Amino acid sequence: MVGGFRIGRIFGIPIFLHATWFVVFLLVTWALSAHFAAIHPGWSGAASLLVAAGTALLFFVSILLHELGHSVLALRHRVPVRSITLFIFGGVAVMERDPESPRAEFEIAIAGPLVSALLALGFALSARGSAPESAWTSLADWLVRINLGVAVFNLLPGFPLDGGRVLRAFLWARSGDAARATRTAGVAGQWLAYGFIAFGALRVLGGDLGGLWIAFIGWFLLSASGASIEQATLDASLAGLRARDVMNADVARIPRGVSVGQFARELVMRGRRWALVEEGGAPFGLVSLTDVKRIAAEDWETTPVGAIATPIAAVVTAAPDAPVREVLHTMATRGVNQVPIRDGDKILGAVTRETLVQAIELRRSLATGAERG
């Protein structure tokens, strides 16, 4: 859930409002104004609506503070935070990567519910200082309950809820196996999700349409935990692998003086999409069919590939000992299809999407074989 309207930047983190946020804001304001009108018969319709809108706004500020709680701890543990988005089910802080230790995972996870609990306490204290029938008391009372609700709901032990992350941190600390901990916490998340769906459905059958919302949250949790389990399985199948283990040493190499036309014909004949350009046996750059397409056909025979190649200094490369998971991450974040594996002045081979898929499938079939044996 990334994207929407950017409303600002806090601690360098861009904050977004997703389109669904506006729907929830209107629904919450509408429901609250009915609630306030019922407990304050003396209030005008406009007054109820105004207090309701203020309460809804403070509710979303509370959610934002919850996400900032996670984010501040993440930054302290050197996990970059890409964005915070407020959407239909609350908020989400998108982190660049997983924390490096169970302790960091625990601290980042617990910070959100802790902020919500402190907000509940703060609103409770502020209500004690104002008159019982005042607008602030009504507003604060509701915010105490909703922030407590947010803290308790998020502490439920199903990944990727905060409580599920706490569970994952605990399992990870005990076994030392992060991927297995994610899978177990993810399965707990799926059971929790089924529970929500069943509970919501029973409420609907009993005549309470609010159950629909609970079932909807369950469905969202189900898809999120399923995605986490898949990611953990992928991580586990790549764990321990180094770039040199999965790279393809058979890289097309071409001297920089060769014409673009000759290069294109050879590449197509050999079924390749890119080649390493060399100068006197040393790497000079990387050239792909995309680079060729930028040159007009009539210039193909007079232009050397060296002129259209990406210089080697600008090419994304990896060391032979780089973990494959890191190489995969680089490919995703830098938007490249191949990462040449470089050892000093030599290119040993390249990791491509195809070599990664082969490595994952080989690992999986070996793992299944071992379990059956």
Which stretches of the chain bind Zn ion, using CB under 5 A? 112, 154, 162
CB atoms under 10 Å from CB of 73, counted, come to: 21
Q: Provide the β-strand partners of residue 350.
A: 248, 340
Nearer to Zn ion, 159 or 284 (CB): 159
Are 203 and 211 in contact, with CB atoms under 8 Å apart?
A: yes
How near is the Cβ of 154 to Zn ion at its closest, in Å?
Answer: 5
Instruction: Collapse the DSSP code of 235 into the 3-class scheme (helix H, G, I; strand E, B; otherwise coil) and give the result.
Output: helix
Residue 154's nearest CA partner among 110, 191, 102 is: 110
Q: Which residues of 22-39 are buried (b: 16+ CB within 10 A; e: fewer)?
A: eebbeebbeebbebbbee
Cα separations (Å) of 205 from 191, 199, 211, 214? 21, 10, 9, 13
How near is the Cβ of 162 to Zn ion at its closest, in Å?
Answer: 4
How near is the Cβ of 118 to Zn ion at its closest, in Å?
Answer: 14
DSSP state, 206?
T
How near is the Cβ of 31 to Zn ion at its closest, in Å?
Answer: 23
CA atoms of 325 and 237, how far apart (whole Å): 10
CA atoms of 157 and 181, how far apart (whole Å): 13
The bridge status of strand 346-352 relative to strand 338-343 is antiparallel
How near is the Cβ of 112 to Zn ion at its closest, in Å?
Answer: 3
Nearer to Zn ion, 79 or 139 (CB): 79
Entry field: residues in the chain: 373
DSSP state, 297?
G
Nearer to Zn ion, 30 or 89 (CB): 89
CB-based closest residue to Zn ion: 112
From the candidates 67, 107, 266, 298, give the one annotated as an active-site residue: 67
Nearer to Zn ion, 66 or 244 (CB): 66
Conformational region of residue 188, where left means phi above 0, alpha means psi within -120 to 50, and beta covers everything else: alpha
Instruction: Collapse the DSSP code of 343 into the 3-class scheme (helix H, G, I; strand E, B; otherwise coil) and give the result.
Output: strand
Nearer to Zn ion, 156 or 234 (CB): 156
Nearer to Zn ion, 105 or 162 (CB): 162
How near is the Cβ of 70 to Zn ion at its closest, in Å?
Answer: 6
State the number of CA atoms in the 13 A half-sphere of 284 facing the CB.
Answer: 19
Nearer to Zn ion, 164 or 340 (CB): 164
Calculated CA dihedral for residues 259, 264, 270, 273, nearest 10 degrees: 120
Residue 71's nearest CA partner among 129, 111, 30, 121 is: 111
Residue 329's nearest CA partner among 223, 238, 227, 226 is: 238
How near is the Cβ of 276 to Zn ion at its closest, in Å?
Answer: 46
Known catalytic residue: 326?
no
Active centre residues (catalytic) = 67
